[in-house]
Structure 1
Amino acid sequence: MDRENAAWAGVRGMQPCYHVAPERNWMNDPNGPICHEGVWHLFYQQCPAGKDWSFGIEWGHVVSEDLATWRRAPQAIVPTPGHYDAAGCFSGCVTVDADGSPVMLYTGVRMRNKMWPREGHGPEELPPEARDLKLQFIESQLAAVADPGDPELKTWRKCDRPVIELPPRNDLEGFRDPFIFQRGGNGKEWIMLVGSGVRGQGGAVLVYRSYELTEGWTYDGFLCEGRPGNMWECPLLVPLNALPMRRPNAHSALLRKNNSVEAHLCGLADGYDKGWTPGPGMKRTSSTLSMDTCLQKHLLCISPDAPDNPVLCWLGTYADGRFDIEEASGPFLLDLGDVVYAPNVTRDAQGRWVLWGWLQEKDPPAYLNHAGCLSVPRVLYIQGDRLVQEPAAELAALRRECLWHEIDFAIHHEATSLPAVVGPSLYIEISMLREMSKAVGIVIPSWRANGVGTAVIMYDWKRSHLKVVTHTIAFDPNRPFSPGCRETGGLIRRAPGAMLELRIFLDASSLEIFTGDGQVLSTRVYRGPAGAADADPGIDLVSLGGHARLARIAAYQMSTIWEAESPMRQAEAAPQIEKVVPNPMGEVGVPEAPKPLGGEQGFGGHGVARGGFVEEVCDKQGQVEMGASFLLDGGWMEGGWMVPTLNEISRKLQRLLWGAAVG
């Protein structure tokens, strides 16, 4: 790739801006996330040699004080010639020992037949027959210890011998990805889970126990086993917290007095949905939903066989080293998309479970100088018998200019264009009512002349089906859903008559969509390289089979997560806000009501609008306590509503696309 295209790819939108991604080359599994002494550490698999996976993989490392802005650190561990990880440092976890020392547990691999072209292939001895899986590489569970006095965790000392050298038997499909489920100390045992499978029978999770993190581990059978899959990688077991109730705030009260649609949204955000009743064993409190059985529910999460397969989950009970998978609910998908694999999780000082997943590429274009990124941090909860995932509230700090904000208007078959919603790194939130429509959608046009990379977020009201359709070949308006389309999605939970609520994180090629009911759809969208930002047409809203009512839409620019790049990115993005122009009140039938613009409780940040003042309403402690409530903006605008007029230009291309979308 030439220098000009490389600069554009890295700085002007091809590399994710607010997702953890490598500066170049390959990235895969998140490893060992931990919040230690008030500092977040996130590790990940990275290949130093190129954009493809290879043996010799290392652990990359990024650091943050606020879960929003990050800085890169040196590699945490790399393969050591002659050691048990001579051919690669595979996935694992990080925890803190009883003496306060951070300890890394990971899978090291060495080659059986010395195929890895590096001196010192690892120990020469082969496993005994009874414990030999006969794979091309030999897996061992290893440990490394950091200096507890170093808040940056830059230096890790590897233990000379494996903590678990070989698998317990020879009929297993694999032996990797250790995860510390139960914390030891004060005479308590540690419990380690290891991903595996029984040849010809299905996947399995192994259990090991020890009173010391770096020695003394003994095998204790299977946590559980089953189908689908033959090898269960990256096992996670998490005792979930109950979903918090939303607390009212001053901004919510103001909106209730001014607009019925916004009042309804406020009610949902605050948890005061009059149609909602507590389930068995549940009760309302001032700040949380509590349910006695909730604390006993555990999330089992496994990644079966290969990255092309979806991550599977069960909700059930755990006791004394065993998860009752037969009685658990599941399996269900962690993510409705086609790119998430090998997630990892940690618990922070507030007791939240925070998860990252690997977002793979899908047929990436040649102009990219990297492969892979991580998801935005997700906070995990349980509500009744279902998993709820929310974007971490700290992402609020990354939100910048408001590009568009409108409430209570109709959308039709003829596309409604939002030309100011431009740029590679966006956050968009939408609340929509069905009215007469059969399907609704958000069209994200390609930046390329041939339309390759055009994406449509579609929702079918009757089937409650959410999907993303992406064009992977030249766009043909007469055959908008030709075999050249890549499609991903699934059913989402939405009560009959309820509003459709979507929170969309679009960051270069990374697309993550959170539903109002706590599900997520993640995929990749490649809209094109050079010059695209100058010709960005914005997004379109469409409805098929009758009109739908958009209760609210708000779109924002997002800034970079990288501390060193933040001033450059913000200066580069600043001219885009000039596309925001005043809206003559009443021109398109929008109700005469004050229009909020700016920050919001649970997803705050400093809203900026040209020619106006935004009063920020944001309770930082409430962000961490409540998770993220992305439904409402705080603050009021003085001197007029600085939001663009709805564009009346109809895009025939998008009308054709939607005409073929749903029968």
Structure 2
Amino acid sequence: MPSRELTVTDRYLNMPVKAGAPRCRMCIKIDGEVVRAFHVELAGDGIDFWTFIDVSAWQGQSAVITLEADPVSPDEDQEGAIHDDALDALELSEEIKDAAEIYQEALRPQFHFTTRRGWHNDPNGMVFYEGEYHLFYQHQPFSVSSFTDKSWGHAVSRDLLHWEERPIALYADQEGQKWSGSGVVDWRNVSGLQQGEEPPLLLFYTGTGRSVHNPKPDDFVQSIAYSNDRGRTWETYAGNPIIPNITPGNRDPLVQWHEPTQRWVMALFVGQPESWLKDGNQVATQFFTSVDLKEWRYESTVDEFFDCPALLSLPLDGDASDLCWVMYRADMKYKLGRFDGRVFTPETDFLIGQRGECAYAPQVFNNAPDNRRIQIAWGRTKAPGMSFSQIMNFPCDLSMITTEEGPRMRWTPVKEIENLYQSSTSCRDEVLTADADPIELARGQHFDLQTVIAVGVAHEVEITVCGVSLICDVTGKQLTSEGHSAPLSLRDGKLHLRLLLDRISLEIFAEDGLVYMSLAVIPDAENDLITIRAIGGAATVETFECHELKSIWPKS
């Protein structure tokens, strides 16, 4: 087993990575104790990118680094692939190696959050405190693959646009991987975890039992981490777990305050007999309540809700005295109903929240200002050849409005996006002659496009953005793009459409946000045309605005 001893003289330990290289188990020991253990696809020949780990906590100390074949799912050829000199390529430095290349990559989204290096998925622990939006996320910082050992990455923003990536908040350790969960502000210090003048921030997460650090059998439990310095550093609660294992795989605690009952409420995915999405298991969510955030009492179960269940109330048509309760699961299917602080009683069948492929496990910021319900979902995209993988979809304000079918959820990109507007193109009352050549409306590669089209007697209206086609089937009242479709009402004979296009995603908002479709696409980088045409009859572009968006990332 290769090993290397070095003195920690700088903040970062940089590691060369090759996507698809054999998975290795790397351990960092200080005074004989394993302080970090993780999987990495360590490059031999042909480096794809450099990743890093912050080792400043052990400044001046001697570290022993070891490397061995993956103990979780060993590969027949993997043992021989680890060379004795494999650790020689590791480098200590005060700066992240190749830092100037971060955010400058060809497929790096320009106005969606992405992590600096590695893989991320579910948003976690979303909470607002003292002017800062805290976004945590499932993170594998040492690979662009989604294999084991998820930690909690952490980023902070003051405007929901520009994000500063912070050190990893929660690493996989003896408690296992740190799977998804939520965050709250303990305003009254009911947990007793406050130290100092400010209330503590609490994170609730699932500890999986098994990790590279601790390869024992899985025993999923629910636990707490807390911060007394506005989220800069985190400690795990000495009394963990707060909820022991119920069924194998139970996970994703979502905690929030319920004002009418003066209780904290937790929604937790607990399937029977196991909490895995496979035949023979019944998926369900259990509700628990607490007065101190540490002791929890079971209250009820609601069936059919799995991964990352969420519960929230939304004022109907903006009326704060008329709240609608909505519960949704990771695929964004939701039910409307009643919630009394203990039991959610559905009053509808499942309604479809998103029609695409690129939005999963959404979460809403706790404690957001002005009672806003701001949602971010994991954007399941592809970025081949890049040093990062996956995105966060653009933040949206959630609302509930009355429709002919009853109350329905609506998604609206947060108004802060207007601060990214730079060059703009607009037109009004542009007549589209039937079956004529497409009309060029604008050019751009990452933009916010808003239009209202009177479909007239057209059979179809086609909009093409950077080579990606969207077709409105007027007769069938359907909107289709990239193999995904959504129903339209075309009220008053008009298509209301908004598009957010970035380098690896397209988010579509139709019917003023009642229809939300998020797609994983890679637009043609050589084609910046935005065109429109009418097929089978004439139509009219009543209004059109396209705002090219500034990059949220610092320039190198």
Q: Fold conserved (TM > 0.5)?
A: yes
User: Equivalents in 1 of 2:551, 2:181: separation in Å?
Assistant: 28
> Aligned to 1:349, which of 360, 364, 369?
369
Following superposition of structure 1 onto structure 2, how do residues 181-220 of structure 1 map, counting pairs within 5 Å? Answer: 181-183=256-258, 188-199=262-273, 200=280, 202-213=282-293, 215-220=294-299
Residue in 1 that maps onto 2:244:
166
Look up the equivalent residue of 1:463 and give its one-letter code.
G
Q: Relative to structure 2, which stretch is displaced further, 454-463 or 541-550? A: 454-463
Q: 1:184 to 1:546 in 2, by over 3 A?
A: closer
Contact 2:258 2:265 in 1 (8 A): yes
User: Equivalents in 2 of 1:416, 1:551: separation in Å?
Assistant: 16
1:208 CA displacement:
1.4
Q: Percent identity?
A: 24
> Aligned to 2:437, which of 408, 412, 415?
415
1:201 CA displacement:
6.0
1:57 CA displacement:
0.9
1:514 CA displacement:
1.2
2:255 is equivalent to residue 180 of structure 1: yes
Residue in 2 that maps onto 1:235:
309
1:139 CA displacement:
0.8
User: Equivalents in 1 of 2:472, 2:449: separation in Å?
Assistant: 16
2:427 is equivalent to residue 400 of structure 1: no
What SS does the corresponding residue of 2:316 show, helix, strand or coil? coil
> Aligned to 1:426, which of 447, 450, 458?
447
Contact 2:289 2:342 in 1 (8 A): no
Residue in 2 that maps onto 1:91:
180
Gaps of 5+ in 2: 1-46, 50-98, 190-198, 274-279
1:467 CA displacement:
1.7
Q: TM-score, normalised by structure 1?
A: 0.62
1:378 CA displacement:
0.9
Contact 1:95 1:180 in 2 (8 A): yes
Contact 2:181 2:203 in 1 (8 A): yes
Contact 2:442 2:531 in 1 (8 A): no
User: Equivalents in 2 of 1:221, 1:429: separation in Å?
Assistant: 44
User: Equivalents in 2 of 1:7, 1:50: separation in Å?
Assistant: 19
Residue in 2 that maps onto 1:316:
337
User: Equivalents in 1 of 2:139, 2:461: separation in Å?
Assistant: 39
Residue in 1 that maps onto 2:408:
386
Residue in 1 that maps onto 2:219:
138
2:531 is equivalent to residue 540 of structure 1: yes
Following superposition of structure 1 onto structure 2, how do residues 44-123 of structure 1 map, counting pairs within 5 Å? Answer: 44-80=137-173, 82=174, 84=175, 86=176, 88-97=177-186, 98-99=188-189, 100-111=199-210, 116-118=211-213, 120-121=214-215
Residue in 1 that maps onto 2:326:
299
Residue in 1 that maps onto 2:135:
42
Following superposition of structure 1 onto structure 2, how do residues 514-663 of structure 1 map, counting pairs within 5 Å? Answer: 514-518=509-513, 519-528=515-524, 532=525, 535-562=526-553, 564-565=554-555
1:48 CA displacement:
1.3
Residue deviations 1:438-490, cap 9 Å, x none? Answer: 11121134xxxxxxxx4211111222211212xxxxxxxxxxxxxxxxx1122
Contact 1:241 1:352 in 2 (8 A): no
User: Equivalents in 1 of 2:100, 2:464: separation in Å?
Assistant: 27
Contact 1:9 1:367 in 2 (8 A): no
Q: 1:352 to 1:493 in 2, by over 3 A?
A: farther
Residue deviations 1:89-135, cap 9 Å, x none? Answer: 10000001122211010111122xxxx443x44xx6xxxxxxxxxxx
What SS does the corresponding residue of 1:331 show, helix, strand or coil? coil
Q: 1:547 to 1:219 in 2, by over 3 A?
A: same
How much is the aligned-residue C-alpha RMSD, in angstroms? 2.6
Q: 1:51 to 1:329 in 2, by over 3 A?
A: same
1:338 CA displacement:
1.1
User: Equivalents in 2 of 1:156, 1:183: separation in Å?
Assistant: 25
Look up the equivalent residue of 1:48 and give its one-letter code.
P
Look up the equivalent residue of 1:175 and give its one-letter code.
N
2:508 is equivalent to residue 513 of structure 1: yes
Residue deviations 1:536-577, cap 9 Å, x none? Answer: 341221211112100111111111223x34xx6xxxxxxxxx
1:175 CA displacement:
0.8
Look up the equivalent residue of 1:504 and give its one-letter code.
L
Look up the equivalent residue of 1:139 and give its one-letter code.
F
1:179 CA displacement:
0.5
2:489 is equivalent to residue 489 of structure 1: no
1:12 CA displacement:
6.1
Q: 1:21 to 1:157 in 2, by over 3 A?
A: same
User: Equivalents in 1 of 2:152, 2:221: separation in Å?
Assistant: 16
User: Equivalents in 1 of 2:544, 2:511: separation in Å?
Assistant: 14
1:71 CA displacement:
1.5
User: Equivalents in 2 of 1:159, 1:12: separation in Å?
Assistant: 39
Residue in 1 that maps onto 2:300:
221
- Between Structure 1 and Structure 2, which shows a larger proportion of strand residues? 2
User: Equivalents in 2 of 1:8, 1:410: separation in Å?
Assistant: 45
1:9 CA displacement:
9.7
Look up the equivalent residue of 1:350 and give its one-letter code.
D
Question: What is the number of residues matched between the two proteins?
Answer: 439
Q: 1:512 to 1:8 in 2, by over 3 A?
A: farther
- Between Structure 1 and Structure 2, which shows a larger proportion of helix residues? 1
1:137 CA displacement:
2.5
Q: TM-score, normalised by structure 2?
A: 0.74
What SS does the corresponding residue of 1:11 show, helix, strand or coil? coil
What SS does the corresponding residue of 2:114 show, helix, strand or coil? coil
User: Equivalents in 1 of 2:486, 2:528: separation in Å?
Assistant: 28
RCO (CA 8 Å, sep 6+): is it higher in 1 or 2? 1
1:380 CA displacement:
1.0
Q: 1:55 to 1:12 in 2, by over 3 A?
A: closer
Contact 1:184 1:211 in 2 (8 A): no
Residue in 2 that maps onto 1:33:
126
User: Equivalents in 2 of 1:504, 1:241: separation in Å?
Assistant: 26
